[in-house]
Every structure is written in C-alpha cells, then in structure tokens.
Chain A
C-alpha cells in the first residue's frame, strides 16, 4: 500500500513538472519557439513627444550601430553606463528614439529602429534602471542626423538617441 502511495505521489510530481515545462500559452496564441525575454513597455506619459518642448535631447551621446544590426558593441557600452549612472540620481523618465540609415525599405527600417531603441533599453535595465522609466519610439529612416549619402553619413544615422522627459 505504501509503495502504491509513493508511486502515486511520484506520478503527481512528475505530471506537475511536465506541465511546467510547456512553452507558449498565455498571450502568445500558442506560438512555439524562442521565448522572448523582452520587458513590456510602460504606459506613455501623456504629451511627452521626443521632438517636443517637454523633452530635453542631446544630454547624452547617441549609441551607434553597425549596418542592419541592433547589437550594442563594446565601444558603445560606456554610453549606456553613463546614462544608467545619471538615471540613478534623477527621477525622470527617458525616451529612447531609434533610427536607421536610408538604405533599407521603409517599414522594415521602422522595426529596426525600434529594435535598436529596445536593445538600448534592455541594456539599461540590465544595469539596474527600472524598465518603467524608459519609453521607446522608432523613426526608421526619417529625421536623419546627416542628410548626406555615403558611409560616414549613414554611420551617423544608425543610432539610438536619449531624450529626458522634463
């Protein structure tokens, strides 16, 4: 009888752990595959517009990116650290705006710009900044920093900029 009980408990435990391992479900409509560890964005602050008068731009250096890439290189990491430190001594929300150079197609560039902004956001979160203080927006290939063409102009346009909400 005791053996049966042990077996039963073991089975119950096994079943519980098996169902814990199930992927997907929840808001993902049954999607399998890579689980994304993105941190959901906080609600927007009404009226905060990256290019508006209630946001201070230029306080921090932009983070620059390689062609078709959203990964943050080692040489750009120090900029993230600067922002993370500054945010520890202020309570403001920031908006990270992502941009691309002109060479891709428009809608994909809107997505790539957003991915760059969110990569920077994730990096700040891993440096201890609360995700609830960081908004993102993507302008894709619009609003270039350098309206010229060629490698040096394009390198200036592949960027994420920081705006501090007043």
Chain B
C-alpha cells in the first residue's frame, strides 16, 4: 500500500511540476480557449483580428467557455487594448495593456497569448515583403503576415526583386537594377530612407541578414564567378566564403549566426550545402531531390525548407536532426515564421500561409499580378 502511495505521489508531483510546453509538435494537438467579444468602441474590430490570429496560429481550438481551458477577454478603445487571460480556476495568467490601433494591438495581444499559453513565439505582429508585378514592373511590397495592409514599398520602374527583411523588421535589403546592374539596396523601414550598399562589378544579389542584423550574406560575381560572400550590413568588408566553378545562391543563416545553408550547382544540378559563416568547405545536405534551391533555415534551427523541382515545384522540408525530408505543398520560395511552424511561399499569383504540422493553408495575398520571393520578419 505504501509503495502505491509513493508511486501516486511521484506521478502527481510530476504532473504539477510540469512546466509549459514541450517542443514536440504533435499534429492537431491544440489547447481549448474561449474568446469573449472585447468591449469598447474598437472591441468588435479587435475581436475579429484576434480571432483570426488565434485560429491561424494553429495552437488553439476556439470553444465555448464551459469547454475552454482559458478564457480570453478585454476591451479596446481610443488606441488602447486591455487584454486578460484567465484559467479554469479564474486565476489571471496574462493581463496587459497594448497601445496602437485596433488591428495592431490585437496582433500583439495574440502573440502574448501564444507565448504565455504555449511557450512559442507568435507570428501575428510580423510583417512580410514580396515581389509583385501589379504595375507591369517588378516592385517590392510589404504587408502584415495575414495579408492585410499591403503597401507598395518601391517605385523604381525597373526590376526590383529578392527582398530580405531583417529579423526584427527594422530594415529591408533588395536587388535593384536601376543602375543597369544588379545592386543591393537597403531601406530603413521606419524612416523610408534608402541607400545602395552593395554595388561591386557584376551581379550583386540574394541578400540575407544575419540573425543580429549586423551582416549580409549574398551572391557577388565581382571576382569572375558568382560566389557566396558575407558583407557588413552597411555594405563594407566583403569576405568570400565559396570558391567553386558553379553558381552559389540564396544563403540562409542558422539562428545563432554561425552557419549558412545555400544552394550551389557545383555538382551539376543545384543542391543545398552548409558552410561555417567564418569560412570552410561547403558540406552537401542530401534531400533526395536533384534540384534544390531557395533554402530557409527555421528559427529553432531544426529544419530547412526549400524549393524542390519535381516536375513543377514543391516545398520541401528537411528535418536536420532526423534527416527525413518531406514535400509539404506545391509552390516556390518558402520562408519560416518566428514559430518555426508556419511557412509562407509563393504559388502562381498568390502567397500562401501554411501550417506545416496540420497542412492547413490559407491564401494571404492575391490580385497583385505574379507574386514571388516572400520574406518574413520574426
């Protein structure tokens, strides 16, 4: 009897001692939450945005209060949102005031709900940039992660492509052909100021900010061959990483900034390789597909998404720990969200938001002509 009691005690204390969420994502596993319509003059508008954010996040099932583990409520008016989350016993687990318009404040509340209840980073406040041919020329556009607030960022009347948002969303680099050559430009997204920062002879393209925003990996052809380089974020100090007869393109950084995955066709068709950001030799990453480009390293470091040519194009996801590779959708040019769970990629005239564990996809941008090359802040 005593033995059973000890066992029960251990099991019980194990349950109560459990911290928030494990890192394993099980397909379809959700937490029940109830969302009460927010009060206040902006309550209805904020509730709509909040509901969409919670739904898209993939972490929750929206249920009536009696079946919910957590109740979400609050009020929004005059540029302020007061939000509160209580558990089944009525204890407050989150209580915070958010400033900003009804949409922006709701996004920030949604992200806090995700982080508080799941331990994962939210994607609701993030911004995307992409290329669209709406005007007849390729220009860079920005939008919220859910496709709202689309804004045309460039008006170069040339070819403006390959945008890359810094992780904190403060700046964007892109490739512009205004000079007649492919150069890399930097835009401060706060002030709108733009400068041409990488303009070596030949082609300069494929900018990718390091996690802390201090460096840019890119393809430069100045030495007579398109190779991978790391350049300071202001455009100075180009350091060459690769030395092959092929084409290196589309670098993506590891979350700690120590390594870069990129595509190279040095062995025939383009394949994924991994290299130390400080220099070394590129190591092949096998995927099972013989044309792999446009890699994106997940923020948790565990996966790389990429474009695979499979007749048309498909989105591949390789688990870097287990080595398994799966195709998750038709489309091109995937980019991970801050939660390492969602991808955005292009599919013809749409940008698609994909929840990888459940396969649920939503078209977030369309009607802007051909859209391509999405990039996503974290």
Contacts and interface: CB of A to CB of B under 8 A. Distances in A.
Contact of B224 (A40, A68, A105, A106): A40
A114 B202 contact: yes
Interface in A98-126: 104-108, 110-112, 114-115, 118, 121-122
A29 interface: yes
Given A30-B280, A111-B249, A44 B201 contact: yes
A34 B245 contact: yes
Given A105-B313, A106-B372, A32 B226 contact: no
A136 B203 contact: yes
Given A41-B222, A115-B225, A35 B249 contact: no
B69 interface: no
B221 A107 contact: no
Contacts of B244: 33-34, 36
Contacts, number: 151
A52 interface: yes
Contacts of A68: 265, 269
Contacts of B77: none
Contact of A137 (B180, B227, B373): B180
B281 interface: yes
Nearest to A50: B180
A48 interface: yes
B294 A107 contact: yes
Contacts of B240: 27-29, 31
Contacts of B278: 29-30
Interface size class of A (residues with CB under 8 A): 35 or more
B313 A115 contact: no
B340 to A, nearest CB: 23
Interface in B233-274: 239-250, 263, 265-266, 269-270
A110 B206 contact: yes
A41 B243 contact: no
A74 interface: no
A41 B224 contact: yes
B279 A31 contact: yes
B215 interface: no
Contacts of A105: 293-294, 307, 313, 332-333
B162 interface: yes
B181 interface: yes
Size category of the binding interface on chain B: 35 or more
Main secondary structure of the interface of B (DSSP, over half): loop
A40 B333 contact: no
A30 B180 contact: no
Contacts of A29: 239-241, 278-279
Interface in B178-207: 179-182, 200-203, 205-206
Contact of B180 (A32, A42, A48, A114): A48
A106 B161 contact: yes
Nearest to A131: B224
Interface string B294-321: 1000000000000101000100000000
Interface in A110-164: 110-112, 114-115, 118, 121-122, 131, 135-139, 142
The winner among B180, B222, B248, B249 for most chain A CB atoms within 10 A is B180
A32 B249 CA distance: 19
B333 A142 contact: no
B225 A137 contact: no
8 contacts: A33-B281, A34-B245, A68-B269, A107-B373, A108-B265, A110-B182, A110-B203, A110-B219
Task: List the 3 shortest-distance A-B pairs measured between CB atoms, nearest first.
Answer: A38-B224, A49-B180, A29-B279
Given A34-B244, A136-B221, 8 more contacts: A27-B239, A68-B269, A108-B250, A108-B265, A115-B225, A118-B225, A131-B224, A138-B182
Interface of B: 138, 159, 161-162, 175, 177, 179-182, 200-203, 205-206, 219, 221-227, 239-250, 263, 265-266, 269-270, 278-281, 293-294, 307, 309, 313, 332-333, 372-373
